[in-house]
Amino acid sequence: MRRVLLVEDDDAAAADLARIADHAGWTLTRVASTAGGRTAVARETFDLLVVDRMLPDGDGLDWVRSLRARGPAVPVLILSALGRAANKVEGLDGGADDYLAKPFDPDEFVARARALMRRAAMPAESPDLVRLGDVEIHVKARTVHRRGQFVAVSRKEFELLHKLADHAGDVLTRSMLLDAVWNLRFDPQTNVVDVHVSRLRRKLEIDGLPNPIVTQRGEGYAFEPVSPSEAKDLAGAKGPMDATNPSEPGGPDATGARQP
Amino acid sequence: MRRVLLVEDDDAAAADLARIADHAGWTLTRVASTAGGRTAVARETFDLLVVDRMLPDGDGLDWVRSLRARGPAVPVLILSALGRAANKVEGLDGGADDYLAKPFDPDEFVARARALMRRAAMPAESPDLVRLGDVEIHVKARTVHRRGQFVAVSRKEFELLHKLADHAGDVLTRSMLLDAVWNLRFDPQTNVVDVHVSRLRRKLEIDGLPNPIVTQRGEGYAFEPVSPSEAKDLAGAKGPMDATNPSEPGGPDATGARQP
DNA sequence: GGCCTGCGTGACAAATTCCGTCATCCGCAT
DNA sequence: ATGCGGATGACGGAATTTGTCACGCAGGCC
């Protein structure tokens, strides 16, 4: 249920917008001044602010500017009789996300409001964020999420996952992983890689879903992204895990890292 | 330097937009089909896509829809001669972030493009994210960032910060913190709180900026948000740290947790 | 089907990090 | 100047991470 704050002093306009919002399935809170807006925003969380410009206590755009000066905030759509291009430019540059001149088409208003709320809910793209299928890796913070759920991984587990994810779709041999993650250029004659992979797998495990870390027997391991749209019902399909055609030659040395 | 991809088959329109982009200081890459757009997006990262609808290989909006089906993506502004309200609704509901009908005002186009890129760079609001001044706390992942820089804090340090931040602006006495963070209802007669505060402070420290954790002598500690707009030049102003008027009575028991 | 090799994981010990305590020095207030 | 409160370095114990080992299971080949 989307929560929308309307800052509008004209009762007729407010009633129209209330009807539109109701029809769109939103909860609309209406105030008639920027002071009222300030109070409402301090009390509640909203998904969208719809702000008129000519209000009894000033220009709604001034309030929007002060919101923006305080940092990232809820999206703002300005509705105003001040509808020339220069007014729109002023409003958009002042921090509004959209600007509609009155009179407006109700359907267009709703579509624009939806687009704003949709965009505001999207995670920001960042060079620090690696997203592969349903797994998100924040490189600097060393955190991992799967399907939006936080996954607590240790330092070594993170490095292992990061390396596998950087080469998603490719098989990494045990000796590659020993080199990359452990800085070992020789075979320690233990199953340290296997043990860490097992631990990481357990942490990434979600009941009913394929695990993104797959074994290529005799070669090594690969990260195979699981699509976010993959439903839990498909868990029975073991096909992808039985792939026998590696995209990268691991060579027989993958077996060399094992305890004989 | 913003990177903009233009998908437009009309040469004259493309030339106009190239001039506008150049004047706005953006780097514009132009392609003439959705296939070209697909290729460009696969090769490079863009800050904005500007997409026409009637293209030689189909409707640009269909491509936008397929981008959206794949998850969060770069913002899209549709420019189109198809300018009725119903067309705009179709475009916005189809995944575009904005929709401008041709002919359009160049200044309005630039202002809208800027608003889209500004919004796309904003971190998503989330109940998991607590933002206070220039400090961001991700509650589930137990991570902390100050001015976008990752701050490595331990579990106890995180809990302490979280508690202080939840009561930002209020003084928390040592016994309050002992109760809340250490689950101790008695005074251990050690300076464990002080030590942890010191450790946390050091980790949050940024040269030239006030530390958000302030001491109220004889009472306790408080989290005082440092505004993201506060420049490093103001570091000499020690005023906020010397505040002598606590907003909450800590009482004299703050001293009780000290080693005698 | 049997056998052999490779893989997965439980258990344990060593290594590393976190946390609490203690003590000392510095800063602040009277 | 004096005394109290706060900040922080250092150390040792607690908790977590990491590596090793061993054993049982799974997969592939003959």
Buried-exposed string A193-224: b where 16+ CB fall within 10 A, e elsewhere: beebbeebbeebebeebbbbbbebeebbbbbb
Residue A70 CA to residue A139 CA, distance in Å, equals: 27
Strand ranges inside A96-240, DSSP E = 98-101, 129-132, 135-138, 143-146, 149-151, 171-173, 213-216, 220-223
- Does A107 contact B115 at a Cβ distance shorter than 8 Å? no
pLDDT tens column, B156-195: 999 999 999 999 999 999 999 999 999 998 888 899 999 9
Helix (H, G, I), strand (E, B) or coil at B141: coil
Task: Give chain C positions with protein CB within 7 A.
Answer: 5-11, 17-23, 28-29
Is the CB atom of residue B195 positioned under 7 angstroms from any atom of strand D?
Answer: yes
Q: Does residue A34 contact residue A41 with C-beta atoms inside 8 Å?
A: no
Report strand pairing: B3-7 vs B48-52.
parallel
pLDDT average, residue stretch B45-59: 93
pLDDT at B21 over 90: yes
A-B C-beta contacts closer than 8 Å: 97
Is the CB atom of residue A155 positioned under 7 angstroms from any atom of strand D?
Answer: yes
For chain B, what is the mean pLDDT? Answer: 85
**Which residue in the set A92, A107, A131 is minimally distant from B89, CB to CB?**
A107
pLDDT average, residue stretch A60-70: 88
Is B101's Cβ below 8 Å from some Cβ in A? Answer: no
As given in the structure block, the two tokens for residue B58 are 């189909």
Using C1' positions and the CA of B257, the closest nucleotide is: D5
pLDDT average, residue stretch B225-232: 73
> Given pLDDT bands bounded at 50, 70 and 90, which one contains residue A72?
low
ipTM of the complex: 0.71
Residue B200 CA to residue A61 CA, distance in Å, equals: 40
- On chain A, the residues whose CB falls within 8 A of the CB of B150 are 140-141
Tell me, what's the pLDDT at A255? 40
Task: Give chain D positions with protein CB within 7 A.
Answer: 4-10, 16-22, 27-28
Q: Of A181-190, B162-171, B228-237, B250-259, which gets the smallest average pLDDT?
A: B250-259
pLDDT tens column, A128-181: 888 888 899 999 899 999 988 999 999 999 999 999 999 999 999 999 999 999
Residue B251 CA to residue B253 CA, distance in Å, equals: 6
B44 CA from C9 C1′ (Å): 43
Element (H, E) at A29: strand A27-31
Q: Which of B72, B60, B47 is nearest to B99 (CA)?
A: B60
| Angle separating helix axes B155-166 and B174-182, nearest 10 degrees | 130
Helix (H, G, I), strand (E, B) or coil at A63: helix
Q: Does residue B9 contact residue B32 with C-beta atoms inside 8 Å?
A: yes
Is the CB atom of residue B191 positioned under 7 angstroms from any atom of strand D?
Answer: yes
Instruction: Count Cα atoms within 13 angstroms, Cβ side, for A179.
Output: 7
Tell me, what's the pLDDT at B128? 81
Residue B4 CA to residue B113 CA, distance in Å, equals: 10
**Which residue in the set A69, A96, A111 is minimally distant from B88, CB to CB?**
A111
Residue A223 CA to residue A257 CA, distance in Å, equals: 20
Which residues 219 to 238 of A reach strand C, CB within 7 A? 219-220
Is the CB atom of residue A195 positioned under 7 angstroms from any atom of strand C?
Answer: yes
Higher pLDDT, A1 or B162: B162
Tell me, what's the pLDDT at B129? 85
Residue A166 CA to residue A181 CA, distance in Å, equals: 12
Q: Exposed, middle or buried by CB within 10 Å (0-12, 13-18, 19+), for B190?
A: exposed
B14 CA from D23 C1′ (Å): 69
B154 CA from C18 C1′ (Å): 7
pLDDT tens column, B91-143: 999 999 999 999 999 999 999 999 999 888 876 667 788 888 889 999 989 99
| Angstroms from B255 CA to nearest CA on chain A | 34
Measured in whole angstroms, how far is the alpha carbon of residue B39 from the centre of its chain? Answer: 30
Phi, psi dihedral angles at A196 (to 5 degrees): -70, -40
Residue keyed to tokens 């028991």 = B253
- Does A108 contact B89 at a Cβ distance shorter than 8 Å? yes
- Closest residue in B to A77 (Cα) is B115
Which residues 182 to 241 of B reach strand C, CB within 7 A? 182, 188-192, 194-196, 217
Residue A134 CA to residue A120 CA, distance in Å, equals: 20
pLDDT at B153 over 70: yes
Higher pLDDT, A228 or A167: A167
- Does A124 contact B124 at a Cβ distance shorter than 8 Å? yes
Using C1' positions and the CA of B242, the closest nucleotide is: C28
As given in the structure block, the two tokens for residue A21 are 């919002």
- Does A88 contact B111 at a Cβ distance shorter than 8 Å? yes
Is the CB atom of residue A143 positioned under 7 angstroms from any atom of strand D?
Answer: no
Q: Does residue B252 contact residue B206 with C-beta atoms inside 8 Å?
A: no
Q: Which of B85, B87, B88, B63 is nearest to B74 (CA)?
A: B63
Q: For the CA atoms of B229, B233, B238, B243, what is the dihedral angle to 10 degrees? A: -10
pLDDT tens column, B116-128: 998 888 766 677 8
